[in-house]
Amino acid sequence: MNKKYTCYDKIIVMKKTKETVLAYLVKEDSCLMLLRNKKKHDINANKWIGVGGHLEEKESPLDALYREIKEETGLDVISYEYKSLIRFNYDDISELMHLYIVNEFKGDLIDCDEGTLKWIKKSDLFSLELWEGDKIFLKKLINNEPYFELELNYLEDKLISFKFIK
């Protein structure tokens, strides 16, 4: 028996997409990490992450990179490498994140109003409280692997699946 479907037979959930940048500033054998411990309502509370944030209206990822690093660290970017495009899917949100390594910068580090900044040796990164998905792409960054694309799927704060697209 053939069944005829109506538009009510399937529920389609449209995810709201936001675009962000994330950078890991590197000097010698260390990365600048941010412990998110200052904001009241923070999805990243008590996690160590790189520095970055959302793109403002009509802002390019590169402009956001320069702005976010300046706002959160007080440093000016001199040279960078675009390493990855990562899609995070969680709850009803899809986040498209541009991932960078910043190898050269100038200026003096400031206090960040989002958390505590600290230079962490690359060999100690995985002893920090990190998102499970971040561990996946941090390994590639530390090994200086070429550009890649990745999709990370979360249910609440648990990584439930991931796949490399490129």
- pLDDT (tens digit per residue) in 39-60: 888 888 899 999 999 999 999 9
Nearest to 48 by CA among 68, 70, 32, 71: 32
Q: Is residue 72 part of a domain?
A: yes
Q: Count of domains in the chain?
A: 1
Q: Is residue 33 part of a domain?
A: yes
What's the token pair of residue 125? Answer: 């990164």
pTM of the model: 0.87
Q: Is residue 9 part of a domain?
A: no
- CB 98, CB 83: distance < 8 Å: no
- Tell me the pLDDT tens digit for each residue of 102-148: 999 999 999 999 999 999 999 999 999 999 999 999 999 999 999 99
In order, the DSSP letters of 15-57 are PEEEEEEEEEEEETTEEEEEE--S-SS-TTTT-EE-EEEEPPT
Q: Is residue 135 part of a domain?
A: yes
Q: Is residue 6 part of a domain?
A: no
- Residue range(s) defining the domain that contains residue 149: 24-164
Residue 2 pLDDT level (bands cut at 50, 70, 90): very low
Q: Is residue 7 part of a domain?
A: no
Q: Is residue 3 part of a domain?
A: no
Please report, as a single letter, which amino acid is at residue 126. Answer: F
Q: Is residue 151 part of a domain?
A: yes
CATH (domain of 53): 3.90.79.10
